[in-house]
Amino acid sequence: MATLSLWPDDVDAAGAQLSADDVARGGALAALFCEAAAESDLAAARRPLGAPPMSLVDFVRQAWDVLEPDTPYIHNWHVEAVCAHLEAATRSYALVRLAQIEAGEVENDVDDWWRGPAVRDLIINIPPGFMKSLLGAVFWPAWIWTFLPGWRGIFCSYAIDLALRDSVKCRQLIESEWYQQTFKPTWRFAGDQNVKSYFQNTAMGFRLCVSVGGRATGFRGHGIVVDDPLNAADASSEVARTEARTWWDRSMSSRVNDKRTGTRVVIMQRLHEEDLTGHLVERGGYQHLCLPLEFEPERKAATSIGWEDPREEPGECLFPTMFPPEVIAQTQLELLDDYAGQYQQRPTAADGGIFKKGWWKRYDVMPPKFHQVVLACDANVKETKAGSFAVIQLWGRVHADVYLVGQVRARLGFPELIEGLRWASQYCVAPGQRAGAKLIEDKANGPAAIATLTKQIPGIIAVPVEVSKEARWRSASPYVRAGNVYLPDDLLAERWTAVLQEIAEQEDSWLQSKDVKRTWVTDFLGELSAVPNSARDDQADTATMAILEMCQPPQREERRQRPRAGSSAAGAIAAME
């Protein structure tokens, strides 16, 4: 985990562990600064607020050659969209002052520019290669200091090297002849605090950079900006996603000076349903500027500042000059399933990923007889309200075609799980036909369920987990693609829902009414279309077990594993008791 560096440039910029003396010295520095900054904030509260000397868009146009002298600037409307929202984020600084003016408590010494649209919390989702780091982490803070030099910002990225890169560029821009001659700042860099990761000016503004997971103890800013909180290579890592979300929730999001006026900005490409954007959108409260490369009318973005995506035609490109059709086609070929997240800002492709939505068949009449009936179970037992779901599915096969008959998906305790498995084992999917093979994944609470039921119910089969989830999904997807897998239509799905509702209404039932969903087939399709980027995959795991069992009979015995006396299954029960 990277450690924040506040000291001279020869300190390990990659974030090597610092000594206790270094940490103490940094903490003392932060304490001294914060004391001085508090006095500066009181003075700033009485200082008139003028308008910026130019718009952020004009600043970007003029500053471009300073940082990119060999690359011609090509303007596009997405720059205007991002800049408009960053300007709105800047205006949050004056929200309290404007309220005081409105109430007649203080003199009106604020330029009308500050009365424009304001945003405190902002998410910007945009594809790679669209200047997001330059706009949000380099140009924006340098522009703010042209008229609000006391502004303080903390800038973060998943890698300290990237955060330092943008910090150095911002400092180079501010020190450039163009900046100094154009804006003639009356402040200067503080000589003892002008290093790669942290520079301060004599107006008490600062720019600090830190990596995701790094520390900013003692420092608070008017703005907190995270640019790419997650490495694309770690998108499939639940540990990495959780660390990024936890770091933001518990550490960085609270580092604003004043929660009434502080702004928090997340800039990133989408990588997973459970990335930081997904987490914050689900929580709510953030304005969301979402710019997919190819326009999707059903996802047309609009925000509170009065902006909306100007595109109208499906597939219309965000930046046609830089991304003509042949470039888009090549990018899709190179990224495959990842294109939907990184470029469309939709971690799940519109038609699905490993399992395309159009591959699934629907049936409206239950077959009168199945050649094979299988029960499949992913035996998760609830530990928290946000824990994994237990899933029990019933499937039938007629020749080469397999049919999902019904499903239970609920957060169950272990006793309820066992009762649910007993009930599903006795359920007749067709006259006189019950499940023969009962497949239970041999992980989580599976061993305990297997050991409990083996002597009570015939046909219990432990399915070992020998390859990755994604490998299993890809093994099952050809059967779906071939049109051999059928899901019930709305009427049959409603009949199944009625069966479960009747069970849930019984006294002391193992199933609760809140776990009976009329949309269960739609939810099933949504999850399987989203893997490998879905927030949940319990339905996908369970369905894959059943499909492979019925469609790959030659490998069936190799995948079966009977529980042995004295095996981990017995130990799992003892542990749960």
On the CB side of 558, CA atoms within 13 Å amount to: 7
Place of tokens 């506040």: 6
Q: Give the pLDDT confidence score for residue 193 in this predicted structure.
A: 65
CA distances from 334 to 294, 309, 457, 542 (A): 17, 27, 49, 30
Please give the pLDDT value at position 248.
Answer: 94
DSSP string over 325-393? HHHHHHHHHHHTTHHHHHTTS-SS-TTBSSSBGGG-EEESS--S--SEEEEEEE----SSTTSPPEEEE
Size (the chain), residues: 577
Calpha distance 231→250 (Å, rounded): 20
How far are the Cα atoms of 232, 258, 262, 279 from residue 249, in angstroms, in the given order? 20, 16, 15, 10
Q: Extract the tokens encoding 549.
A: 């069992």
By the 10 Å C-beta count (0-12 exposed, 13-18 middle, 19+ buried), 386 is classed as exposed
- Output the CA angle 197-27-6, nearest 5 degrees: 15
Q: Kindly tell me the sign of the dihedral angle through the C-alpha atoms of 312, 322, 57, 43.
A: positive
Q: What confidence score (pLDDT) does residue 384 get?
A: 52
The tokens describing 422, both together, are: 């007993």
CA 441, distance to chain mean position in Å, is 28
CA-wise closest residue to 389 among 261, 527, 482, 502: 527
> How does strand 437-441 pair with strand 460-463?
parallel
- For 313-427, list the strands marked E by DSSP: 361-363, 372-378, 390-398, 401-410
Going residue by residue through the chain, which has 577 residues, state the pLDDT in tens, using 9 for 90 and above.
333 333 333 333 333 333 444 444 444 444 444 555 555 555 555 689 999 999 999 999 999 999 999 999 999 999 999 999 999 999 999 999 999 999 999 999 999 999 999 999 999 999 999 999 999 999 999 999 999 999 999 999 999 999 999 999 999 999 999 999 999 999 999 876 667 889 999 999 999 999 998 766 678 999 999 999 999 999 988 899 999 999 999 888 889 999 999 999 999 999 998 899 999 999 999 999 999 999 988 889 999 999 999 999 989 999 999 999 999 999 988 987 788 899 999 887 667 889 999 999 999 999 999 999 999 999 988 655 556 789 999 999 999 999 999 999 999 999 999 999 999 999 999 999 999 999 998 887 788 889 889 888 999 999 998 888 889 999 999 999 999 999 999 999 999 999 999 999 999 999 999 999 999 999 999 899 988 877 788 999 999 999 999 998 644 443 444 444 444 444 433 443 3
Question: In 354-489, which ranges are continuous DSSP H helix?
Answer: 414-426, 446-453, 469-481
Residue 40 pLDDT:
52
Q: Are 184 and 200 in contact (CB under 8 A)?
A: no
Rounded to an integer, what distance in angstroms lies between the CA atom of residue 292 and that of residue 453?
A: 50
Tokens of 498: 């009625």
- Is the bond into 532 cis (omega within 30 degrees of 0)? yes
| Tokens encoding 566 | 């004295």
Q: What is the sign, positive or negative, of the torsion defined by CA atoms of 550, 555, 556, 559?
A: negative
CB 157, CB 211: distance < 8 Å:
yes
Record the tokens describing residue 27, joined without a space.
Answer: 């903490």
What tokens were used for 318?
């965000």
Say what the pLDDT of residue 337 is. Answer: 74
Full-model pTM = 0.68
Identify the pLDDT of residue 491.
Answer: 96
